[in-house]
Amino acid sequence: MAFGAFAAHGMADPVAKTLIQTGASYQLVHALAALLALFMPVPTRKAAGAFLIGAVLFSGSVYGLALGAPRMIGVATPLGGLSFLAGWALLAWTARRQPD
């Protein structure tokens, strides 16, 4: 959230501002999803781990690009997105296996 506030108030470059806001949004949503995964009746640590890894790779690389890191760091962005997708799949699979 600090990066989102920094983007809203401290950045002049509109592209960098958009990148930081995107990274902060994805980080927030997936942090909440990780908490959901941990507090389900049958917790799924694998889904929570996938969300956290995705946040580091996706949001971290987006933050890096916004702050001027070499473009090569952008290679991590789709890996983070895949990790997010894996987390959602694991969460759905675990939720489906919950007893009625």
Q: pLDDT tens digits, residue range 22-49? A: 999 999 999 999 999 998 877 789 999 9
* Structure confidence at residue 42 (pLDDT): 76
pLDDT category at 94 given cuts 50, 70, 90 is confident
Q: How many domains does the chain have?
A: 1
pLDDT at 8: 61
- Please check the confidence at residue 5 and state whether its pLDDT lies above 90: no
**Structural domain boundaries, residue 69:** 2-96
Question: DSSP per residue over 43-92, as a string?
Answer: --HHHHHHHHHHIIIIIHHHHHHHTT--GGGGGHHHHHHHHHHHHHHHHH
Does residue 6 carry a pLDDT above 70? no
- Is pLDDT of 50 > 90? yes
